[in-house]
Each structure stands twice: as structure tokens, then as C-alpha cells.
Structure 1
């Protein structure tokens, strides 16, 4: 209380009296603390009412709420009521300040909405939303909030990816389906709506922007085979035995041929976002993707005892049949998809 934190002083005194109703210090502090707190909030209320702040009624409402909260705390403590009898709650005053706060937010929303820009419409939406929370069903706040929302929304039509090869049509369709799922489930920013071309045509949507995706280039199945020959030998290997059946040690040799096959597939996807009205490109990004399928096997000539267990295992491995081209196509698009959705999210999340 001496530090001027009257609300905390009241709460602490109430807490002590709830656990110890005869606490003399708390009984002595509570009346003074409550009186100081009450006068402090009433002074702030008068100051707020006299100000020219558009949102002054929210300060008024906040202080009435604090007073009523303190009164509720005291009313929950029988010992407290012996020193602060019948504290008054400001119920009607709180209701009036809440209504006035809602009206102020509604009027502010109208001002923003009449500015006729997307940014101001977004501000108007939040003002009408706050108005609804403070003063439910005040005038046509719900309808105005809806008007502000659609004035703030950016409509984006996403054009399908064109792949001029029937060989990769299924993989291309799957990649497109992933993109369609992403834009269909996008919900990070309520003021951004994506449409497919079919949806836009069906709903007669006039877009604000057009997002197009095209592969600048892609190569599937570039094959590289490398052979590495290792000359191996191992000493102190039993190569026979004497007549006395004693082991004979010697050196064994072998030539190991290790084959490594890499099949590389890669592509470059171009993202272009164009303003529908001005036809100006507002964003352009490129996303590379690469997938390398690897296989290895070996063969040898000579004595297999010159080989390690790992080398010997490689010689027993056969050359693997690589995945078909449509699978390779799909694999190199996976890192492209991850980059693409991250970039779209980054660009539009706070748009």
C-alpha cells in the first residue's frame, strides 16, 4: 500500500483474512487500501472521460472492471466485510462504458471502411469485430464486418502446371494435387483466399492476383556409371599344408572392380505472381530440386580370401533395376514442393 499498489494490497489483505480471519495487520490495512484503490480508479475514470481519445471508454470500462473485481474479492471474505461493509459495485456504469466502447469501435470501423483500401478494410474488420465483442448486435456491425472482410480479402487464382510430356503426366498430376491440397487447406491468413482455375470460373471470381507455376526445365534419368578397380592382397593366409599336415602361409591376391551408378533427376520450378489489374509481376521466385538414385555392386578376379567381408558382400550384390522415370520425376519435385509452400506461406501469412 505504501508503494501505491492499492489493488495488490487489497488482494493480499483479503487473502490473509480468508486464511486467518483475525489477522490484525490485514484488518487494519484493508479499509484504507480499498479506499485508496477506489479513489484511484474513480480518478482515472474521470480523467479518461475528459480526454479526447477515441477509445477512452475502454479505459473507463477497464477501471470499473477493476473496482468490481475488488468488491467481489471482499464479498467472498466474511472477515473482510466486518471492516469494509457493503462495498458498492458499479454494474450499470460498467455496462454503459462497455456499450460506449463498442459504439466507438463501430464508428472507427466505418471511418476505416470508407477509406476504400484493402489495408483500411482489414483494420475496419477488426474494429467491427471488437465492436461485436463489446456491444453484441449493435446496429449492423455484423454486416459491416462482413463487408470489411470481403473488401480486405486478396483473391488469388492458381494456374495449373503445364507439363508437355504425357510420359510424366501421372507424376505431374500428383505434384499438382499436392499443391491443390495446400492451397485448399491454407488458413494462416484469413484475408487470403486461393482458388483453382476451375473454382474461379465456376464461382465467377475476379482475381486480385494470378499465381502461375511452370518448370523452366527438367531432366530425368541422367545416368553415370563409375568403375573403380582395387588390387588387393593379404599376407599370412593359409594356402596349403605340408606332408606333416602343418599349415603353409602365403599371400593371396585379387582384383576388385567396384561399380557405382548414379541416376540424377532435377528440375527448376518458376513461381510468378501477377497483379490482375496492372499485369505487373509482384513476385518471382525459382525453386530447384534434385534427386539422385544410387546403386553399387562389385565383382572380383583372383582369390576371394584377399577380400574383406564387406567387399565380399558387395560382390554378391546384383545390379538393381532403377525406379521408373515417373517415380524419379516425383522424387525431384519433393524438395521443390517444400520450398514452394514455405515461400507462399512466408509471402502471404501477413499479407
Structure 2
């Protein structure tokens, strides 16, 4: 019985502690008035007659109101050009508290006049947008790519504050294109008609990469044809050339193994008993490797100064392999795997155009990784 009584006591005590926390009293003692109000409201929605939550709400809302209004007045007296954003924040927090209280009937008895600052919020948004707009204009006047990026971000904030503020859409567009680096990628040059189709496939992969590129919105890639059609004056030109490539370099290697296996049944006696002995064979294993490789040069050049801003070389190799074997002697000397290898026929290797495509795959992966990394924060 004593144990049951103790258990009930601890459960009761736990409920009191939990109830005390959820009324917002703890947050009030810490000076977190907003959180205290929200917790008290939540408590009163579930338990309208909770006296502690009633007292907490009354005190916490009074303190929260005074605290936000004080911060607003302090901000209005400051010289910070972006002070209206902090003013807006405090007005919005007051409106949020008012909405929470107004949605709770029991709370309205405690705080019947939780007012909302709708007009003040709209005025603060407009003033905050004006400050960001003027800041954006100042950055735009500097007339550099980096300042244009800053202008773009300022105009973005304006649009978030006031979607139809003045000519913000035009200013965003102006700032964006002033910040953009236009990169024209020249077609890959391969001085061999044999591999033209394969090089075209590699070019298509690159064209797809630049069409899908979205890592940095301030970098726009164009093919040479697109730049010509759209009359684009590039900021940079990215050229790709194969310094060298070899396709279909063939190596055939033969390895000869002398095989022997003991205790193999090689016959029978007249009365039918097995005769065991040693069997031998000579196994010739052939391995054909067809190697194809190349080295791609990537050069990024500033269009106006003609200076190289980045240059890298990317190697690629692909080796096609085939194995087969033949033997002389007793096949019982061979393992199952060795015997299977002797029954394989030589495979016809891929055509040179396919080998060309294969060795360019690792080159392509290196290329797009490095291009992405170079322009990621450009």
C-alpha cells in the first residue's frame, strides 16, 4: 500500500510540474515573453479555468507589448538605414500574439484588447522596401559584376517586401544581366573524319550539361551557335581541344602453363578395377587488350583582354579486354574454369568510334566537375 501511495504521489507531483511548465510560467521567469504568452494561450485553450495560466497570460502579454513597442521606438531613433525591417518584425510579432489570443475565448476574458498593427505593418514594409531599393540603386551605379550581384539581392528583398514596388521587376532584370557572366563554349575540334560522329556525341553531352546547368544563376552558358543567333557578346570563351588521342592500340599477351593432375583414373584392369595415374596438359592463355586514350585541353579566356583565366587538361583511358585459351594434352588436367576458358571464342572488338566514346566518358566527368567548381561561386 505504501508503494502505491508513493507512486500516486510522484505521478501527482509530475503532473503539477508539467502543468506549471505548460502554463508558460517558466518562460516568463526567463524573460521570454512571447513564448510565455503562446504557452499560456495553449494551456487555456485546453483548460480555460487554469488560474496560473490566466495570471501568466495577463502578465506576459503586458510585458511582451511593452518590450516590442520599446524596441520599435528605439529602432525609429537609430541611424540604421534598414531599421524598418526590425520595426516590421516587432509589429508582426505583436500581430501574431494578438491572433493567438483572439482565437482563444478564455484568453479574451484576460486580455480583451489585444490590438493589431495592420497599418503599421504595411507602412514598415513600404519603408523597408524603399531602403533596400535605394541600396540596390547605389550598388547598381558602381557598375561592376560583384556590385550588380549585391544590387540584385537587394532588389530581391524589395520584391519580397512589396511585390509591385515601383519598377522593381525591371530593376531586378537590369541587375541580373549586369551581374551575369556570359560564357560561350566553342565546339570541340577533332582533326579526323573517322571520329567525327563520336566527337559529335561528346559535344552533345557537353551541350546537355550547359543546358541543364543551374549551380550558379549568375553564369549563363551558350553554344557558339546560340551566341551567334542571339548576338551575344561573351565575357569568357571556353575552348576544348584534344591535344592527342590514340584509338585501338592492341596488345596480345600469351601465358603458357604446364598442368599436371595426379590420381586420375586412366584405365581399368582386366577384372574391372580402376587404374590411377597422372595426366598432363599444356595450357596457353591469351589476353587481348585494346587501349584507347586521349588528353583534352580546356582553356577559359577573357573575351576582352584575351588573357587565359583558367586552363586544365583532362586525361581519359578505356581498355577493352578479351581472354581465351587453348590446350594440348589431356583435358582432365584442367580445372573447370580453365576448360571453360578454352571453349571461349575470340570476341570481335568494338569499332573505333565506340572506343573513342568510351575513353571520353571519364574525360567528360572530370570536365563537368571542374567547370562546375570553377563557376560555382563566380
* Superposition TM-score tier, normalisation by shorter sequence: over 0.9
Output the TM-score relative to the length of structure 2: 0.92
Larger fraction in helix: 2
Q: Aligned with 1:53: secondary structure?
A: coil
What's the CA shift for 1:303? Answer: 0.2
Aligned to 2:260: 233
Among 22, 29, 48, the residue aligned to 1:21:
48
Structure 1 portions without partners, runs of 5+: none
Q: CA deviation at 1:283?
A: 0.5
CA RMSD of aligned residues (A): 0.7
In structure 1, how many angstroms separate the alpha carbons of the residues matched to 2:206 and 2:173? 29
Aligned with 2:310 (options 255, 277, 283): 283
TM-score, normalised by the number of residues in structure 1 = 0.99
- Equivalence for 2:246: 219
Residue correspondences, number? 351
Of 271, 275, 297 in structure 2, the residue corresponding to residue 248 of structure 1 is 275
| Divergent runs of 4+, >4 A | none
Shift in Å, 1:86:
2.2
| Alpha-carbon distance in 2 for matches of 1:300, 1:94 | 91
CA distance in 1, matches of 2:358, 2:181: 33
Distance 1:69 1:185 in 2: 42
Q: Deviations over 1:135-191 (max 9, x none)?
A: 222221211111111111111111000100011011001000111111122122211
Partner of residue 191, structure 1 = 218
Question: Hey, what does 1:203 align to over in structure 2?
Answer: 230
Residues 1-351 of structure 1: matches in 2 within 5 Å?
1-351=28-378
Unaligned ranges ≥5, structure 2: 1-27
How much does 1:223 deviate? 0.8
Residues in 2 aligned to 1:255 and 1:136: alpha-carbon distance in whole angstroms:
85
CA distance in 1, matches of 2:128, 2:67: 21
CA distance in structure 2 between the aligned counterparts of 1:258 and 1:49, rounded to whole angstroms: 88
SS at match of 1:145: helix
